[in-house]
Amino acid sequence: CLGSVVMDHTFHVQEVVQPPSKNRATSYALGAGGLAANASIAVSRLGGNCIFWGRVGDDLNGTPLLEALAAQGVDVSHCRRAPNARTPVSAVLVDPVGERSIFAYRGDNLGTDPAWLPLHLLDKAQAFLCDPRWPEGSAAALDYARARGIPTVIDGEKSETRLLLDLIPRVDHAVFSQPGLGNYAPGLKPADALRKAIADGCKVAAVTRGEKGTLWMTAEDQTPRVTPAFRVMATNTTGAGDVFHGAYALAVAEGQPIDRVMRFASAAGALRARDGATPDRAMLEQLLRDQPG
Ligand code: ADP
């Protein structure tokens, strides 16, 4: 998994009433956030082996972040520390129904040179998950993986149109958030935007839509399909999309059929939204049994 990590400072807010001074924080937690951190932890907790490639600043947030990932079984030995740079941090406010507002400080530029990426590590990978926030590294790693037939998955999140247009044709599985799909194909209806990704060379294109479930299609059969969301009581939806992506990449690595990949990832996202924590494999398998498709 290649991508960005953030130190999340999460506050659960009891009431959301204007003016904001009436808000009451009922709990506070510090933890690893950002797509690559959440997705890597999901892979590891769901029983996969995950190497995370990324960069942190050489500061007080960087070390605990890598330690938090390592404590969950993620291999961080290939990460880089950028000297004299600050790690991105964010404040996450979670309201009583689990929806969140995020105030992010993106940190310093941690460098963009992909030359340090130990691409040969991909030779043994069963799947590669890529966060598009680091364009040069993503393009180099996606091309390397594709040339070797290693399945690639991208989180088409809120990145710029230009970046998505460059990266989407390089991947097998384009899994968008709703804003990401809008940026990739402005003005197109979701099913048409997914068709565009297929025409650009993806084997599978999907968009996650929270409680409305996942809309997806394959290159063989360009029929839009919906995998419904699992019914859960959401308490904190932060990271649901990231955990969805981690579980998705693991299911691809395990060679699961595509409809099962969608259900597996949806169950992981739902449990994350329900618990505000990443599920383990037994919890996920239980939900798949409890709510059969
Ligand atoms: P993001 O976090 O990127 O905005 P989504 O909100 O679409 O992404 O969530 C990703 C996936 O997690 C959804 O497709 C769905 O499967 C699951 N999920 C998220 N929120 C809920 C919810 N409230 N109930 C059930 N499943 C959810």
135 C-alpha to center of ligand 1: Å?
25
pLDDT mean over 160-171: 92
Using pLDDT thresholds of 50, 70 and 90, give the confidence band for residue 141. very high
Mutate to test the pocket of ligand 1, among 153, 211, 243 (most ligand atoms within 8 A of CB): 211
Three-state DSSP state, 149: coil
Extents of the domains making up the chain: 35-60+74-81+112-290
The pLDDT assigned to 100 comes to 77
Nearest to 68 by CA among 100, 108, 104, 40: 40
Distance 206 CA to ligand 1 centre (A): 13
Task: Answer whether 173's CB lies under 8 Å from 153's CB.
Answer: yes
Q: Which whole number is the average pLDDT over 42-54?
A: 95
State the distance from the centre of ligand 1 to the C-alpha of 137, rounded, in angstroms.
Answer: 27
Complex-level ipTM: 0.98
Q: Work out the average pLDDT over 261-290.
A: 97
Smallest CA separation from ligand 1 atom 25, residue: 270
Beta-sheet pairing, 100-105 with 89-94? antiparallel
Nearest C-alpha to atom 2 of ligand 1 is from which residue?
Answer: 241
CB of 173 closer than 8 Å to CB of 147: no
Ligand 1 centre from 38 Cα, in Å?
Answer: 14
Q: What is the mean pLDDT of residues 162-168?
A: 93
Residue 65 predicted with pLDDT over 80: yes
> Is the pLDDT at 14 greater than 80, yes or no?
no
Smallest CA separation from ligand 1 atom 26, residue: 270
- Residue with the nearest Cα to atom 17 of ligand 1? 269
Which is the closest atom of ligand 1 to the Cα of 227? 16
CA 180 to centroid of ligand 1, rounded, Å? 14
Residue 52 confidence class, pLDDT cut points 50, 70, 90: very high
The angle, 0 to 180 degrees and rounded to 10, between the axes of the packed helices 240-253 and 258-275 is 150
Binding pocket residue ranges, ligand 1, CB within 6 Å: 177, 208-211, 214, 229-230, 232, 234, 237, 240-241, 244, 266, 269-270, 273
Q: Which atom of ligand 1 is nearest to the CA of 238?
A: 2
Q: Count of residues for the chain?
A: 293
At 88-103, the pLDDT tens digits run 888 888 887 777 788 8
Query: Which residue owns the Cα nearest ligand 1 atom 24?
Result: 211
The amino acid present at 196, given as its one-letter code, is K
Q: Find out whether 250 and 236 touch, Cβ atoms under 8 Å.
A: no
Average pLDDT along the chain:
90
Distance of CA 224 to the CA centre of its chain: 22
Closest Cα to atom 6 of ligand 1 = 210
Instruction: Kindly state the helix (H) or strand (E) to which residue 10 belongs, with its residue range.
Output: strand 6-13
Cα(214) to ligand 1 centroid in Å equals 9
Instruction: Write the residue with the smallest CA distance to atom 14 of ligand 1.
Output: 208
Fold of 35-60+74-81+112-290: UDP-N-acetylmuramoyl-L-alanine:D-glutamate ligase (3.40.1190)
